[in-house]
Amino acid sequence: MFNGWKTYSGILIAATPTLAGLFGYNVSAGFDVEASENINDLILLLGSAIAIYGRLVAQSKGWFAKN
């Protein structure tokens, strides 16, 4: 479902300063590091939410359920 998200976000981060330069904007030197960290945090948060949702709607009780 989310195959390649880190790849696509990396491409977007790498291309943003170039595209911004074409439109006359200046991008700060720390943009790539901050944007990369923010996108990785967003991907982690989204993945965690999907995992929690999956656990809540699962039919089995899980590995450590009481009998």
Q: What is the pTM of this model?
A: 0.55
Whether the per-residue pLDDT at 58 is higher than 80: the answer is no
The full set of domain ranges for the chain reads 5-57
Q: Rounded to whole angstroms, what are the CA distances from 22 to 15, 19, 25, 27, 34? A: 11, 5, 8, 11, 21
In the predicted structure, residue 57 carries a pLDDT above the cut 70: yes
Task: List pLDDT tens digits, range 1-18.
Answer: 567 777 887 788 888 888
